[in-house]
Amino acid sequence: MTKLDNWKQNAPDHFYGCCMAKLRAGSEPPELFASSWSDKISPLLWRVPIFVWAAIIITWSVVSFWGPREMFLLYMTHWGLVMILLESLFGILVCFRKKQVEFSDAAEGMPLLVKTYWVLYNITVPLAFLISLFYWGVLRTQSARNINYAPDPILDLMLHALNSGLMLLELVLSRHPSRLLHVMQPLYFSGVYLLFTLAYFFADGHDPWGNPFIYPVINWFKPVETLVVLTLTALFFALMHILTVGIAAVRDFVLKKCTHDKSGLYNDAFEP
C-alpha cells in the first residue's frame, strides 16, 4: 500500500483529528522539539532572547498604553505578544527538560510539556504573521486617519513587524514539524477572540477613545460587514498556517540536502 492509499484509508480519522485539533505524535521523537539545524547549536540561543524581548515589550506596551491599563488585552496584537512570551517560555523548558533527563519512553507517548509547546508554536507563529498582515494591510490603511494605534513608532515596529521576524526565526532555526492537519488549532484560537469581541460588545464595552468597538473593522453594530471581515481573517489565518507548514517543509528539504541525511524529511506536512 502506497503512502497516498494509506492516507486515503485513514482520511475519516484524520478529518476527525483535524476538527478536534488533536496532537498525535508521528515518527518524530520529543527530543526533536529541543533541537536545531545543528547539533552544536541549542535552541536556547534564540528562545531565551525572544522570551526576554517579549517580557520587555509587554512591560513597555503596558507602561505606554494609550488607554486604561485594564483595556490592554482588548487587542489581538497584545494577545499575540503574550503568546510569544508563553511559546518561548515553554520552548526553553523543553530544552532544559532534554538536558536533565530523557523525555519519555516511546510507549508512553509525547510528554505533556512538549505537546503544550507544540500547540503554542502552532498558534503563535501564524498568529504573528496574521497580526502583521492585518495591521499593515487593514488597520493602517482604513483607520489611520481616525485612530492612532501606535503613538510610539519604535514600539509600533516591535509589535507589528519584529514579532513576525522573531517567529520566522523560530520557525526557520527549529527542527520540529508543522502539520497541515493542525490548522484548527490557530483557527480555534481566533474563535476564542471572536467570542471575546462579541461578549465585550454585549457588555456595552468601548475602546479607549469611547468607540463601541475594539477595532473599527470589527464593529458588531454592523454584523454583516463584521462577519465578512472575520471570515476573511480566518481564511488568512489558515493561509498563514499553510505558509508556516510550507516554510518548515522547505527548511527540512534544505537541511536534508545540505547534510545528506538519508533518513527522510522531518516535516511531513500530511502526517497527523
Looking at the chain, how many residues does it have? Answer: 272
Structure confidence at residue 209 (pLDDT): 86
For residue 156, what are the CA distances in angstroms to 57, 95, 135, 159? 11, 31, 10, 5
Specify whether the backbone of 114 is left (phi greater than 0), alpha (psi in -120 to 50) or beta.
alpha
pLDDT digits 0-9 by tens, 80-94: 999 999 999 999 999
Q: Is the pLDDT of residue 270 over 80?
A: no
Of the listed ranges 4-18, 20-34, 134-148, the least confidently predicted one is 4-18
- Is the pLDDT higher at 203 or at 252? 203
This prediction's pTM? 0.87
- pLDDT, mean of residues 230-236: 93
- The pLDDT, as a whole number, for residue 151 is 67
Q: Could you give the percent of the chain with pLDDT greater than 70?
A: 78
CB 83 within 8 A of CB 122: no
